[in-house]
Amino acid sequence: MTIDTVPKRILFIVNPVSGIGKQRSVERLIENGLDKTKFVSSIVYTNAPGHASELSRKAADDGVEIVVAVGGDGTVNETAAGLVGTSASLAIVPAGSGNGLARHLKIPMNLKRAIEIVNRGNRLKIDTATINDQLFVNVAGVGFDASVAKKFAVAGKRGFSTYLRITTNSYKHYEPKQYTLIIDGKVFKRRALLISFANSSQFGNNTSIDPSASINDGYIDVCIVGKMPYWKALFFAPLLFLKKFDQTRYVEIIRAKEVVLKRSKGKSIHLDGDPKLMGKELIMKINPLSLNVIVP
């Protein structure tokens, strides 16, 4: 056996409670679908928040070539956190509710087909970013979407229908907030429903407020969204799925390498859909081409 044909070590990190339960069949799918001439595999399960980061960091330190996140955007975020800046590659078997990064990378939502992508092993370097030194890979944000993420995290039942119900019920009563943004040294003052930091084009569930966002251009797109009347929101909502919402007058997009955001009080933000409590000042920085990912 030559060096080129020595099977690579691959670790599957499975979040047993993410999404809507698709990950429960993953052991059988790995056994039947993974190319055993290319890989020697192991499977581990997360048991607490932050566990995936510990597992992926140890795997990278131990020389594992590919670490697969089996779960949603939160699992992808944690797994990526342990791999940034290493030679190991992140692969994704999407089993979450939104699967934003997987959708942007054109990874199939079908788990069997996603494992076929892993078998091919095509690698791409992508950007990552941090807010107050905490990583995000796909999209982070403040305001309304962070408020929804906080409610969704404790909703019990996962899935798009739950997310839609929370969003619809919360929209009428949510008041836009005043923000000061220092974007690459230039000051902007905005009253906004939400501000998203988009590394990819995907919000999740195949929705987008920034279809042109690139994941390896060295920039984060700062998406400033104003609040529209409720009846207009119902009318414009389909534009999120049609990738045309950015063409409305309610969206302003500014490309940035570093952003300081100031707000009146500390509140929740979200990092790849997971809510986090942070203070009045947020500092966003881009980490260009800092993560290897497996893509179709």
Q: Report whether pLDDT(46) > 80.
A: yes
CATH architecture of 134-288: Sandwich (2.60)
Pairing of strands 66-71, 89-94: parallel
pLDDT above 90 as % of the chain: 64
pLDDT above 70 as % of the chain: 95
Poorest-confidence range of 73-77, 126-130, 221-225, 265-269? 265-269
Identical fold, 3-121 and 134-288: no
User: Residue 145: CA atoms inside 13 Å, Cβ hemisphere, count?
Assistant: 23
CA-to-CA distance for 254 and 222, rounded, in angstroms?
Answer: 5
Q: Report pTM.
A: 0.89
Residue 239's pLDDT is 81
Residue 68 phi, psi dihedral angles, 5° rounding? -105, 125
Name which of 112, 89, 120, 90 is nearest 102 in CA terms. Answer: 90
Is-contact 239 208, C-beta < 8 A?
A: no
Poorest-confidence range of 74-83, 212-221, 245-254? 245-254
CA-to-CA distance for 253 and 118, rounded, in angstroms?
Answer: 34
Residue 6's pLDDT is 80
DSSP state of 175: P
Residue 9 phi, psi dihedral angles, 5° rounding? -85, 130
Confidence of residue 2 (pLDDT cuts 50, 70, 90): very low
Top-ranked range on mean pLDDT: pick from 105-109, 143-147, 162-166, 168-172: 105-109
Domain boundaries, the chain: 3-121, 134-288
Render pLDDT for 224-279 as a digit per residue (tens, 0 to 9). 999 988 878 877 787 888 788 888 889 999 999 999 999 998 889 999 989 999 99
| Residue entry with tokens 């690698």 | 123
Residue 234's pLDDT is 79
Could you please state the CATH topology (level 3) that the domain comprising 3-121 is classified under: Rossmann fold (3.40.50)
Q: Report whether pLDDT(96) > 50.
A: yes
Confidence of residue 1 (pLDDT cuts 50, 70, 90): very low
